[in-house]
A = this chain, B = another copy of it.
Amino acid sequence: MTTTEDAKPLSSSAAAQSAFIGLAAYASLGAFSLLAHDAARSPDVATRLRLARMAAAELAEFDLAEELLRARGEDPIRMVSQYAGILDGFLKRAEPRDWWERLMRTYVGFNLLEDLVRDLCKSLPADLHEQLHGSVGVSGHADLIAELLLPEVEADPTLASRLALWGRRVVGEAISLAHRILAERPELVELLDGEDDPAARVRALVARLQANHSRRMGRLGLTS
């Protein structure tokens, strides 16, 4: 772990900043794939098109991160490749059995990844924060969930309890994913708020991620 020994809040290093932008880029590319895959499995053309367009918007976010990395003298492909495969592990361990579980997996997994990115983004220098902050996220996806999933869950208690159970499994895998990302690039821990002890910072992060997840599940009337 690249942390200092004193108790002052750490200012983020250039390496941590580049690792972060690489992560934001990787998250966008991962969101592209997941949303495109969900699009292909959509039950109707209208939903397919909405998801496909969200996927394309994620790719536009990638372009911004790529540009920022180039401006810092980094090789974007190399910076993104450092994370390659991490998301595949998550997807493999949380394989949905139907369309609703698929929608829920994206809802839980990518919102958690987005929360992680937003959390790390907070301690970036103001200019970098400004450039990246707006570009993080799966825009429109929460609305789609509210439109498609919420009425189903409200009408069908069996589905609701199955999806609540599934959400707990998915969030467990998503939190493992966050741990793997931080283990892969420990300099990212510099960007986390909190005490000097890196492990304590990670624990506090996980508590925040879990709390946000619970709020999101609550919005669907599901217990996390």
Q: Mark A35-62, 1 if CB is under 8 A from B, else 0.
A: 0110110001110110011011001101
Q: Indicate which residue in B36, B46, B77 contacts A36 across the interface (CB closer than 8 Å).
A: B36
**A92 CB → nearest B CB, Å:** 12
For chain A, which range describes its interface: under 10, 10 to 19, 20 to 34, or 35 or more residues?
20 to 34
Copies in the complex: 2
A222, chain B: closest CB distance, angstroms: 28
A176 within 8 A of B: no
State the majority secondary structure of interface residues on A.
Answer: helix
- CA A36 – CA B59 in complex, angstroms? 11
Residue A81 is within 8 A (CB to CB) of chain B in the complex:
yes
Contacts A33-B40, A36-B32, A36-B37 given; indicate if A59 touches B48 (C-beta within 8 A): no
Instruction: Report A100 CB to chain B, min CB distance, Å.
Output: 20
Query: Contacts of A62 on B, CB cut-off 8 Å?
Result: 49, 52
Which residues does chain B contribute within 8 Å of A37, judged by CB atoms? 36-37, 40
Contact status A39-B48, CB under 8 Å = no
> Could you pull out 23 A-B pairs where Cβ atoms are within 8 angstroms?
A29-B45, A29-B48, A29-B52, A32-B36, A32-B39, A32-B52, A33-B40, A33-B52, A36-B36, A36-B39, A37-B37, A37-B40, A44-B81, A44-B84, A45-B77, A45-B81, A46-B77, A52-B59, A55-B55, A55-B56, A56-B56, A56-B59, A56-B60
